[in-house]
Structure 1
Amino acid sequence: MRLDNEQNIIHLVKNDEWMMNILLSAKSLNLPEWWIVAGFVRSKIWDTLHGFTERTPMADVDVIYFDQSNLDENIEKQLEQKLKEMDPQIPWSVKNEARMHLVNHNEPYSSSVDAISKFPETASALGLTLDNHNNVVLTAPWGLEDVLHMVVKPTPSFEETDNGAKMYEERVVKKNWQSIWGKVQIHHFQ
């Protein structure tokens, strides 16, 4: 399958029953500005570009949303529990991006997509959601070029954060993407 633009990626996701079931589960929570982000999207793209016939296992499936009216972290745990009841095989992680700027030592985010733009790597600054008609919607605040060319580099906004270089380099070592996807190219801070 050709994979070189947004429509190709959306088509790839729509034809993946496992991914669609996960998206439908997340949608059922009726969360404001919800997205499933990062590795959920990136891994599918890289698996496809590498010609893998089996899905690369994921440490977690990150569901984010944006609700300034309730910043209680316990709500996130309750939402994770609801998702685990729907599908206990999935390693769910739920975060309200309206509070995550505090954890990440950033200025407050204005939306979920704004938060995605502050993720460490451009190739991971991706999200999927479903519209009211269950059409797949993709967001990529820094574009798709890096993920499609299998390039890992810091997002411009992450480069500007205090301690960004150290955190980025630690993530690159911890994630060790090249051991799974051999064609991935890592760019380091200058």
Structure 2
Amino acid sequence: MIGRLPLDEQLTVLKSLLARNELLLEVMNRAVTLDLPDWYVTAGCLFQTVWNVVTDRPPTSGIKDYDVFYFDDRDLSWEAEDAVIKAADEAFAGLPAEVEVRNEARVHLWYEQKFGVPCAPHASTEAAIDSFAATTCCLGVRLEPGGRWRVYAPHGLSDVFNLVVRPNPVLAPREVYEAKTARWRQQWPELTVLGWPSASTARMPSSS
């Protein structure tokens, strides 16, 4: 099983599987041209590409959109983010998929209104990725000078390869996790979806 390979070999396999999604590669290549600070292509377009390849589906099957996160706390106005979004609309024009570009330095300004729980300001794009509803989602990839891939995977890659979805109860509420996993199960019935932990077993932030 891929998930039992040493980590360096898992990274090699991850790159080869993601490369099967030519649309994903084009999004990554065009994202480079935007020169966004601390950017990553992240979330569903990554782990769902892996799920598709390992279950013999077309690489783009069921992928709703392609998320590009960046972090710029120099100007937290909507106008500054909107200017980046408009530039991104031009950069990604013509692609047969929706590409959503968002500044993760601004998440705390709208998160509670949308999801009903407060969100402390993120300190980086990586910190934003850490807060996804499932640990399996906590994955980001970008291209760096020379074509090197930078991969951020704080919970490793084994669950991604093994089609295991594990809750990450650090920010997103239970209903967000359960809504997402219900939708994913319809598209990928092979998934093993772990239940949301009870209040007594939920992982609490470290006090150290």
TM-score, normalization by structure 2: 0.79
Provide, for residues 8-36 of structure 1, a one-character-per-residue CA deviation record: whole Å limited to 9, x for no partner.
11133345432221101111110100001
Segments of structure 1 that go 5 or more residues without pairing to the other structure are none
Q: When the two structures are superposed, what TM-score results if normalisation uses the length of structure 1? A: 0.86
2:125 to 109, 112, 116: 112
Is the Cα contact below 8 Å between 1:10 and 1:137 reproduced in 2? Answer: no
Q: Who is 1:143 aligned against?
A: 156
CA displacement at 1:118 relative to structure 2: 0.7
Residues 31-40 or 54-63, more deviating:
54-63
SS at match of 2:151: strand
Count of residues in Structure 1 that have an aligned counterpart in Structure 2 = 183
Distance 1:171 1:47 in 2: 17
Which of residues 41, 45, 49 is equivalent to 1:40? 45
CA RMSD of aligned residues (A): 2.0
**Which of 189, 192, 199 lines up with 1:185 in the alignment?**
192
Of all paired residues, the percent bearing the same amino acid is: 26
**What CA deviation, in whole Å up to 9, does each residue of 1:78-132 have, x standing for no partner?**
3333333233333011111111133332222111111101111111111110111
Classify the secondary structure of the residue corresponding to 1:168: helix
- Once residues 195 and 32 of structure 2 are traced to their aligned partners in structure 1, the CA distance between those partners, rounded to angstroms, is 36
Give the gaps of 5 or more residues in structure 2. 4-9, 112-117, 198-208
Residue 38 and residue 160 in structure 1: after superposition, are their counterparts in 2 closer, same or farther (change >3 A)?
closer
Give 2:143's aligned amino acid. Answer: L
Q: Tell me whether 63-72 or 86-95 shows the greater mean CA deviation.
A: 86-95
2:109 to 89, 102, 112: 102
Compared CA separation, residues 81 and 49, structure 1 to 2 (3 A): same
Structure showing greater Rg? 2
CA–CA separation in structure 1 for the residues paired with 2:105 and 2:58:
37
Residue among 41, 49, 56 paired with 1:51: 56
Whether 2:18 is the aligned partner of 1:10: answer no
